[in-house]
Structure 1
């Protein structure tokens, strides 16, 4: 490439010199009478007159410009980039989607590349995707796994490269206030907001307020919430940074913060956790088929022995939830308990889930789970007469009756966190701090 450029430069220089000599020779060869005759014969052409009367320098410059213009390389054409976007259709797979741009072998290679990042067998109907091509050739595939993360697969000379990346949003923080006339959902709608916000408020104060029985007219709420936008379109709510609900004259407040394990919690300004340590039950059930007992006739063995749990009758495949935040300490199978899971919680508590049909994908020993997370599914493995969940709890190594277990609040905030929480009070009432605007209070307290 370097040698070719050098040759091209020499050719251009030679052409310029030649043009200069030709122009100069033509000029000096014209006699005065010839010049006059030429001018008289070509008075109708201003261009010719201008050329014949031009000075040697002008002729040389003109010739040089023409030579340079003809030797300048044309710019490379810009690549044509196209983006094809849409949503995963009913019955659509990665193969049926990508075979428009890739061969079967390339689709297989791409899918193999994503196995450690996100298996393409998990793509769901209705989720957005984008395919980018350059000059008609595939260059990138993007699939939004959920509202927070996106799978990105790019093609290079070395093959495919897959990674997960955070979805970027334009985020605004707003303070929303509403008054109850009949129920929370109606009040949220009257405030111009979506029903999802009502559900979020219910989750925060669900341990404090029964939103079916306790709500009264003129109860009110105030929340400071993040709103997420993409390309100017509302995409849902982010974190609720602070919330207040006044119910029957009693004020309840909660402020967002992560605990030491990275779980989202809502605390009072004094550090009290609004969440209880455990759910009331690990699944939605139709009935209790057997209670906790120290002396029960075993339905299979036909002998009396302790029953250290509560049996919840439920259809096979019913999701089973972790009753509280904790860490999985055992996933196993035994002749009596069938498939089972054990979780260790804080303050000496442990929960057990027996007779399962299968475990949730990705569940493993040592993994942290959060309250309400699906960990398994109801079955009838082990010594069981039908599908049900045998749910058990221990406190400091001893079995306790789950129905009578004290349900303490989740751990309170640390001293360092309490200092931050007291600052977050300004989120709900920024006018109390006259030195700050509402937006400044939000920025400083988050």
Structure 2
């Protein structure tokens, strides 16, 4: 039997008409996919030769700058070489020494004075040395050069009024109101012509002062000027006002413009005790004989500064078996003073040298014929010994007539402040200075 395949047996089955659009869409999508892939995909050969992506290196870490500040005080044996020798070359130090001559000789740095050494990464940057309470020496590196200069110390200044009552001494009275001995010394200097703070002080005496209190970097740094002061001694009031009369140095005057300064201080030591007074008959503790003692002995610790009681010229300086180290000063054609038993002389003191009133000429000791540390102070008038406590001398010149009106105007607010009728105002010397710390 013949087998006849059906017609169109080799043809694929007919696709239903409704499926044709879907089939066309699928084919179009597949074609689009391959077309896009061919545009974004590198051939294998190109892929192998393409450079790898370059990443930016991490930022370099800068080392932190190390700054060091060394605070200290000049010690015995210190010199500019011992202080800076580890940071400056010998040639640089030699150059500094040459530059310093007209500014401040480096050989004159004093034991006990503060200094500050600033280093950057261990390298010298700056050296500061306090010459005194007002000025400092600054040595700094400027590139390859080393500069040296004398500059004012920057302070913040607050004006304050300080009051106290004497129970035993001015030192203790000042300490009792929270102040330090520097203020007591300043007050003793101001009234030194009128008040003997060894013999004249009594319990119940009182003082008040309008004074500048200094701050340095926010830390108390002593006192500035005493603008006005009053001391009541045995019921008598003594007032002092600081004023500069024209081109003359600032000085203290009373409310009427009379100078407090006189030819002689009341005593060559600000604080001490009298161990032996002026007498023409005294039993000597060493020789065990009666003899004249035309002098005043001031007992004080060894090293206490001794001041010249007036301007004058040193006519004798030396040592004898009885007097020890001594100095004799001629003040004018009438008066001479003698200072005995010193432990040593002040720096720069020499025979023929001119000295000023209040200048330190030596220090208390027990050289010569002495039982202990004291100053034997003598005064002569026309060559004859006189009791220093009985010498009355005229005051220095008063405020000039030309400046009297300005003086009266200047002291008027100071008088009111001493009377407690106005509030004290704080002032700052330099605007960039830090404010003083708050009082506790």
Pick the TM interval, shorter chain.
0.5 to 0.7
Matched length:
354
**2:336 aligned residue (347, 350, 374):** 350
Corresponding residue number in structure 2 for 1:93: 78
By how many angstroms is 1:144 displaced?
1.1
- Matches of 2:234 and 2:301, distance apart in 1: 42
Q: What per-residue deviation string (whole Å, max 9, x for no partner) do you get for residues 312-348 of structure 1? A: 5989975562332314354655999997644344785
User: Which structure has the greater CA radius of gyration?
Assistant: 2
- Matches of 1:148 and 1:101, distance apart in 2: 27
Q: What per-residue deviation string (whole Å, max 9, x for no partner) do you get for residues 61-119 of structure 1? A: xxxxxxxxxxxxxxxx9x96945231227657234432331345655664565466244
Residue 118 and residue 352 in structure 1: after superposition, are their counterparts in 2 closer, same or farther (change >3 A)?
Answer: farther
Residue 406 and residue 439 in structure 1: after superposition, are their counterparts in 2 closer, same or farther (change >3 A)?
Answer: same
By how many angstroms is 1:259 displaced?
7.7
Q: Are 1:428 and 2:406 an aligned pair?
A: no
**2:69 aligned residue (84, 88, 91):** 84
The two structures, once aligned, show a CA RMSD in angstroms of 5.5
- Matches of 2:133 and 2:206, distance apart in 1: 30
Q: What per-residue deviation string (whole Å, max 9, x for no partner) do you get for residues 2-40 of structure 1? A: xxxxxxxxxxxxxxxxxxxxxxxxxxxxxxxxxxx99x9
By how many angstroms is 1:352 displaced?
4.0
Corresponding residue number in structure 2 for 1:326: 311
Corresponding residue number in structure 2 for 1:256: 242
Which secondary structure state, in structure 2, belongs to the residue aligned with residue 425 of structure 1? helix
Contact kept? 2:253, 2:260, Cα under 8 Å: yes
Choose 145-154 or 342-351, whichever is displaced more: 342-351
By how many angstroms is 1:235 displaced?
1.3
Q: Are 1:214 and 2:202 an aligned pair?
A: yes
Contact kept? 2:126, 2:138, Cα under 8 Å: yes
Which secondary structure state, in structure 2, belongs to the residue aligned with residue 429 of structure 1? helix
**1:123 aligned residue (110, 113, 126):** 110
**2:254 aligned residue (268, 281, 286):** 268
Residue 392 and residue 209 in structure 1: after superposition, are their counterparts in 2 closer, same or farther (change >3 A)?
Answer: closer
Contact kept? 1:316, 1:357, Cα under 8 Å: no
1:12-161 alignment, distance < 5 Å: 82=67, 84-88=69-73, 93-94=78-79, 95-103=81-89, 106-107=92-93, 110=96, 114=100, 117-120=104-107, 122-125=109-112, 127-133=113-119, 136-155=122-141
**1:239 aligned residue (225, 249, 255):** 225
Residue 93 and residue 288 in structure 1: after superposition, are their counterparts in 2 closer, same or farther (change >3 A)?
Answer: same
- Matches of 2:165 and 2:344, distance apart in 1: 44
Corresponding residue number in structure 1 for 2:211: 225
Corresponding residue number in structure 2 for 1:374: 361
Contact kept? 1:309, 1:390, Cα under 8 Å: no
Long gaps (5+) in structure 2: 1-34, 41-61, 282-286, 430-440
Contact kept? 2:163, 2:208, Cα under 8 Å: yes
Which secondary structure state, in structure 1, belongs to the residue aligned with residue 136 of structure 2? strand
By how many angstroms is 1:238 displaced?
0.9
Contact kept? 1:113, 1:160, Cα under 8 Å: no
RCO higher in 1 or 2 (8 Å CA, sep ≥ 6)? Answer: 2
By how many angstroms is 1:350 displaced?
3.4
Corresponding residue number in structure 2 for 1:53: none
Residue 373 and residue 209 in structure 1: after superposition, are their counterparts in 2 closer, same or farther (change >3 A)?
Answer: closer
Residue 400 and residue 41 in structure 1: after superposition, are their counterparts in 2 closer, same or farther (change >3 A)?
Answer: farther
Question: Structure 1 or 2: larger helix share?
Answer: 1
Residue 429 and residue 368 in structure 1: after superposition, are their counterparts in 2 closer, same or farther (change >3 A)?
Answer: same
Which secondary structure state, in structure 1, belongs to the residue aligned with residue 138 of structure 2? strand
Corresponding residue number in structure 2 for 1:406: 391
Contact kept? 1:256, 1:264, Cα under 8 Å: yes
1:273-312 alignment, distance < 5 Å: 273-274=259-260, 277-282=263-268, 310=295
- Matches of 1:210 and 1:289, distance apart in 2: 15
Corresponding residue number in structure 1 for 2:48: none
Q: What per-residue deviation string (whole Å, max 9, x for no partner) do you get for residues 242-299 of structure 1? A: 1234567643321123689967643211133445543455466885599779xxxxx9
By how many angstroms is 1:162 displaced?
4.2
Which secondary structure state, in structure 1, belongs to the residue aligned with residue 349 of structure 2? coil
